[in-house]
Amino acid sequence: MENPPYPAMTFRQIVREMGKLSDFDTHIEEGQLTKLRQHHAQQMTIKIEGKKERPWVLIEGKKLDNKKIRESVKQCGI
- pLDDT mean over 37-58: 91
Predicted pLDDT of residue 61? 77
Residue 59 to residue 71: CA distance in whole angstroms: 15
pLDDT band, very low/low/confident/very high, at 26 (cuts 50, 70, 90): low
- DSSP at 78: -
Is residue 21 scored above 80 in pLDDT? no
Instruction: Give the residue among 54, 60, 61 at the shortest CA–CA distance from 78.
Output: 54
Is residue 8 scored above 90 in pLDDT? yes
Residue 20 to residue 33: CA distance in whole angstroms: 15
Q: What is the pTM of this model?
A: 0.77
